[in-house]
Amino acid sequence: MQDACPHILLPVPYRSNIARSSVPYRSAMRLREFLRADFVISRLQANDMEGVVHEICARADAAGIGSGAVIAEKLLEREHGHTTVIGSGLAIPHATVPDLPEPVIGVALAKYPIRFGPAGTDAVRLLFVLLSPPGREREHVKLLARICRLARHSDFIDQLETADDDATVIEIIEFIDDQHV
């Protein structure tokens, strides 16, 4: 019997020489899985990039996430190489940090807009901090994408700015996170 649709090619399974990651694939990644309540700063005291990074890293150190000095070095290296300011008052400082057991997300809110990137970039009011161990690049990129999707929610940043404390920040993020696929 002849093929009724000879012009349609069936997909060939993708074969790659690249070694597969040892991290299992996740389809619906939620921020709550990586968000740490002890890595939230509802009102930053610092008002410049270096000060903000050091304040965030001090919180990471105090929370037992990793060495504040190492995290600061990695985050500043990234910021000096390429800004993580997304626009609309959001920055997502992120880095690969040795000796972390898994990715972790922190959140920091500025009392007043902060110049976080180079001249010409929007001032920042909200920072999501993403730290990942080496070898977890796929998860790292998926988490960055997830944060960006949530930040597009119509009043996400405004809602977070009304939070009175760290627990409320977490509640708002989890609520918005649960509404998105």
Instruction: Encode pLDDT of 21-72 as tens digits.
Output: 454 444 568 899 999 999 999 999 999 999 999 999 999 999 999 999 999 9
What's the predicted TM-score (pTM) here?
0.82
Domain 32-179: homologous superfamily in CATH: Mannitol-specific EII; Chain A (3.40.930.10)
Compute the distance between CA of residue 152 and CA of residue 68 in angstroms, rounded to an integer: 30
* Pairing outcome for strands 35-44 and 85-87: unpaired
pLDDT band at 181 (very low <50, low <70, confident <90, very high): low
pLDDT value at residue 28: 65
Look at the block and give the residue holding tokens 């968000």. 35
What are the pLDDT digits (tens) for 74-96?
999 999 999 999 988 899 999 99
pLDDT of residue 2: 42
